[in-house]
Amino acid sequence: MGQAILQFGTSRFLQAHVDLFVSQALARGEAGQAIGGITVVQTTNNPASAARVAALAGGDGYPVRIRGLRDGKRIDETITCRAVRQALQADADWSAVHDAVAGEVRVIVSNTADSGYQLDEQDGPASIGNRTRAPRGFPAKLLVLLHHRWLMRPAADLSIFPCELIERNGDVLRDLVCSLARQWHLDAGFVDWLSSHCIWANSLVDRIVSEALHPVGAVAEPYALWAIERQAGLVLPCVHEAILLTDDLERHERLKLFLLNAGHSFLAERWLTEGRAEGETVQQAMNDAVLRLALELFWAGEVLPVFDALGQRAEAEAYLVDLRERLLNPYLNHRLADIAQNHAQKKQRRFLPIVELADKLHAGIAQPMLHAALGSAR
């Protein structure tokens, strides 16, 4: 079984999510559990990244420590992830990346952070066919490699799984790559192939991975979800209990955004406005009686009524049962200072949709805490 999965990014999240799922499926040794091993491509240049790639390339696997609560019981176990079979650095190994995508690859995975879809003005059509110098931006890298794949294996389909936290991430990345192909005046047949032979999956990833281990590895909570919108022809990288195929991805996205993400940003808002302890963690905040009460009032008074108006309150309350246990995790060092990074932008992404949906549904909710955080008035 070869490297059937090509992965862009070596983040601690991918190490403890997609890569771990594939490793666990491969370890079961049953036919059809996983399509193959993983070739990872590091797209950034820094000493930490270089050390991570070198460790992954060693082939000895790496530890993922699962720590947290599950049904009230403490979980603390270490799993060795052995799914990564090859590790490349884009700038240094661009020719080898070309060879990988033209080989047995059936699935492409990416997690390139918040800025990963930004275009770089220095990238252009001269990159097509250039095996020695990688484009600077991820969309251009992907476009160049898909063009090479089209030339080498035009009949072979690909399933592409962006894991960036962007709504309908598969559609967004597809449209971006197709638009770039047209800007570069690439063959119309290739542009058609991008839609006809590439399946761009919309998906939602959900797992708190709070710490990196060095040189490679991660600490993560027991909870994990990879919700993927069902599509004809979609090839999954593996079979795993945390992978959920769904016809209604928006429901899962809304639960995570309105309850987990908005809850995190609510705590970050209080941390910033009240000048709380620099190293305060989510777990410490959840055990502060006053702050915990404020969060519960936020969920109960400003968020759950929106789910009530949708006819989905029971589902949201069930999600909150698991979420409280996740946020009370005594092991994860999830600092509010980290959550508070890019706070103004996060509030627009996490708070504003709750307010807008409440207005759209005519739910009649005042939502004073949300409006105060957004700087709006009623």
Report whether pLDDT(56) > 60. yes
Is 211:12 a contact under the CB 8 Å cutoff? yes
Specify whether 77 is located in the same domain as 175.
yes
| In the block, residue with structure tokens 């047949």 | 189
Specify whether 209 is located in the same domain as 178.
yes
Banded model confidence at residue 378, pLDDT cuts 50, 70, 90: very low
Joined together, the tokens standing for residue 1 give 């079984």
Report angle CA 152, 43, 86 to the nearest 5 degrees.
65
Banded model confidence at residue 31, pLDDT cuts 50, 70, 90: confident
Specify whether 223 is located in the same domain as 268.
no
Report whether pLDDT(115) > 80. no
Q: How many domains in the chain? A: 2
Q: Average per-residue pLDDT in the chain?
A: 95
Specify whether 112 is located in the same domain as 225.
yes
pLDDT tens-digit profile of 248-290? 999 999 999 999 999 999 999 999 999 999 999 999 999 999 9
Specify whether 257 is located in the same domain as 162.
no
Provide DSSP, 55-70. Answer: HHHT-S-EEEEEEEEE
Residue range 131-142: mean pLDDT, rounded:
97
Last residue of a domain, one of 190, 223, 247: 247
CATH number at residue 59: 3.40.50.720
Residue range 27-55: mean pLDDT, rounded:
89
Would you call the peptide bond into 215 cis, given omega within 30 degrees of 0 as the criterion? Answer: yes
HSE of 342, CA atoms in CB hemisphere, 13 A:
8
> What confidence score (pLDDT) does residue 32 get?
84
Specify whether 239 is located in the same domain as 302.
no
Is 347:373 a contact under the CB 8 Å cutoff? yes
Buried b (16+ CB within 10 A) or exposed e, 27-38: eeeeeeebbbbb
Last residue of a domain, one of 189, 215, 247: 247
Joined together, the tokens standing for residue 345 give 């932008």
Residue numbers of the domain that contains 256: 250-374
Residue range 122-131: mean pLDDT, rounded:
97
Last residue of a domain, one of 195, 224, 247: 247
Residue ranges of the alpha helices (H) in the chain?
12-16, 18-28, 47-57, 94-101, 138-152, 169-183, 188-196, 249-255, 262-274, 282-286, 289-298, 304-310, 313-327, 336-339, 343-350, 352-360, 368-374
Closest of 199, 281, 212 to residue 16, by C-alpha: 212
CATH number at residue 263: 1.10.1040.10
SS3 percent helix, strand, coil of the chain, rounded to 5, is 45, 20, 35
Closest of 24, 113, 7 to residue 66, by C-alpha: 24
Residue range 285-297: mean pLDDT, rounded:
98
Distance separating alpha carbons of residues 204 and 191, to the nearest angstrom: 26
pTM of the model: 0.92
Q: How far is CA 259 from the centre of its chain?
A: 17
Amino acid at 309: A
Report whether pLDDT(1) > 70. no
> What confidence score (pLDDT) does residue 114 get?
64
Residue range 58-84: mean pLDDT, rounded:
95
- Measured from the Cβ of residue 156, the count of other Cβ atoms closer than 10 Å reads 13
Specify whether 101 is located in the same domain as 240.
yes
pLDDT tens-digit profile of 208-257? 998 899 999 999 999 999 999 999 999 999 999 999 999 999 999 999 99
> What confidence score (pLDDT) does residue 44 get?
82
Specify whether 263 is located in the same domain as 239.
no
CB-based burial label for 260 (10 Å; 0-12, 13-18, 19+) = buried
> What confidence score (pLDDT) does residue 2 get?
60
Which of 85 and 116 is assigned the larger pLDDT?
85
**In percent, how much of the chain has pLDDT > 70?**
98
Is 111:163 a contact under the CB 8 Å cutoff? yes
Distance separating alpha carbons of residues 205 and 230, to the nearest angstrom: 15
> What confidence score (pLDDT) does residue 376 get?
65
Joined together, the tokens standing for residue 162 give 């962006």
Distance separating alpha carbons of residues 327 and 360, to the nearest angstrom: 30
Specify whether 222 is located in the same domain as 318.
no
Specify whether 190 is located in the same domain as 98.
yes
Specify whether 281 is located in the same domain as 323.
yes
Specify whether 220 is located in the same domain as 259.
no
HSE of 269, CA atoms in CB hemisphere, 13 A:
23
pLDDT tens-digit profile of 76-110? 999 999 999 999 999 999 999 999 999 999 999 99
Report whether pLDDT(377) > 60. no
